[in-house]
Structure 1
Amino acid sequence: MFKLFKKKGISVNAVVDGQLIPITAVKDDVFSEKMLGDGYAIEPKNGEIYAPVAGTITTVFPTKHAIGITTKDNLEILIHLGLDTVNLEGKPFKLMVKEGDTVQQGMQLADMDLEMVKAAGYDDTIIVVYTNMDLIKDVSEIVTGNVIHNSEVQIIKLND
């Protein structure tokens, strides 16, 4: 899908198996109103989180609920593990990466204990946000429905 555009953009893959939804459907205004940037979200079927792109890990929050990746084209991507999960102080997350690590697209980044997140009363939706929108010319529409990690979900075209 979208193979025609691969040379003209950055292919962004699903970070987890689950139900792909538009970022505008996320139950948090910061994400749904695109205050941090555009992107997509997945209601996960499991807690295995994978890199949507190749790049360098530039941010790992101390509470392990969010990971930042920067691509070779300087696109900054934030992977946010659940809503308000910062309050869980890192307990449901096991990270496989640290700041400065180089990752390949599809490499496992983390494990998230979905049951622990839900039992604590939090939403386990995984959000992927492109935070430096000034570099972006176009973000392709997503096709909602079931996705498998490492399958392409969006194409990002950068400004010339």
Structure 2
Amino acid sequence: MTAQTNRMFKKILKRKDFFSPMEGELMRIDQVEDEVFSTRSMGDGFAIDFNGVDVKAPTDGEVIMAFPTGHAIGIKNDNMEYLIHIGMDTVELEGEGFELCVAQGDRIKQGDVIVKVDKEKILEKGKSLKSPIVFLTGEKIEVLSVGRYVKCMEKNIIKIK
């Protein structure tokens, strides 16, 4: 196997190992109310209507952005960069309902808790918990089972093209 073929093979394997970062109903990105996400202006992705406590790292990688409010985390690995945005307009809560468990520059492993969420507090404030996961490096996403309830760290929820 050539070095180039070997790199491509590793990239394909790693891309398939994207786990659900949270528990909830699986959605297409265009089902999110915020046009920045639904129109794919930041990139393609998917969403989960969050119904859990923890948000976990779906892959190994490096935290390249961690909003102090805890509502959004950017992660980069060898193959891609992606953003996990918890809820809609949750930046307005100024961190209330979120416990950020990582910092920019941290190396994380798949399954590490990156944010703890008090969903009741967020819902009390009238915010939606529909949470987009957006791929910032040009990947195209196919959601495998729209409307299905997924568990945190479940695999085979999306196909990355």
TM bucket (normalised to shorter chain) is 0.7 to 0.9
Q: Which residue of 2 aligns with 1:125?
A: 130
Residues 11 and 154 of structure 1 are in contact (CA less than 8 Å); yes or no, is this contact kept in structure 2? no
Q: How many residues align?
A: 149
Percent identity over the alignment is 34
Secondary structure, aligned partner of 1:140: strand
Contact 2:69 2:91 (8 Å CA) reproduced: yes
Q: How does 1:31-42 map to 2 (within 5 A)?
A: 31-42=37-48
Residue 144 of structure 2 corresponds to 142
Q: CA deviation at 1:9?
A: 3.3
**Cα deviations across residues 110-151 of structure 1 (Å, max 9, x unaligned)?**
111111111111111121100121xx3x43333120101111
| C-alpha distance in structure 2 between counterparts of 1:69 and 1:10, whole Å | 16
Closer, same or farther in 2 for the Cα pair 1:63/1:94, shift >3 Å? same
Q: Is the 8 A contact 1:6 1:155 kept in 2?
A: no
* Alpha-carbon distance in 2 for matches of 1:141, 1:108: 23
1:72 aligns with 2:70: no
SS at match of 2:158: strand
Structure label with greater radius of gyration: 2
C-alpha contact (below 8 Å) 1:15/1:149 kept by paired residues? yes
Letter paired with 2:144: I
* Counterpart-to-counterpart distance in 2, 1:129 and 1:42: 11
Unpaired stretches in structure 1, ≥5 consecutive residues:
none
Work out the CA distance in 2 between the residues paired with 1:63 and 1:8. 30
Post-superposition CA distance 1:8-51 (Å, at most 9, x none): 73422111111111111111111111111111111122121111
Distance in 2 between residues matched to 1:101 and 1:155, nearest whole Å? 27
2:20 is the alignment partner of 1:14: yes
TM-score (norm 1): 0.86
Aligned to 1:59, which of 61, 65, 68?
65
Q: Quote the Cα distance in structure 1 between the aligned partners of 2:14 and 2:60.
A: 16
Unaligned runs of 5+ in 2: 1-10
The one-letter code matched in structure 1 to 2:158 is Q
Letter in 1 for 2:70: K
Q: Secondary structure at the residue paired with 2:13? A: helix
The reply to whether residue 104 of structure 1 matches residue 114 of structure 2 is no
Question: Which is strand-richer, 1 or 2?
Answer: 1
Could you list the runs of 4 or more consecutive aligned residues of structure 1 that deviate by over 6 angstroms after TM superposition? Answer: none
Aligned CA-pair RMSD: 1.8
2:88 is aligned to 83
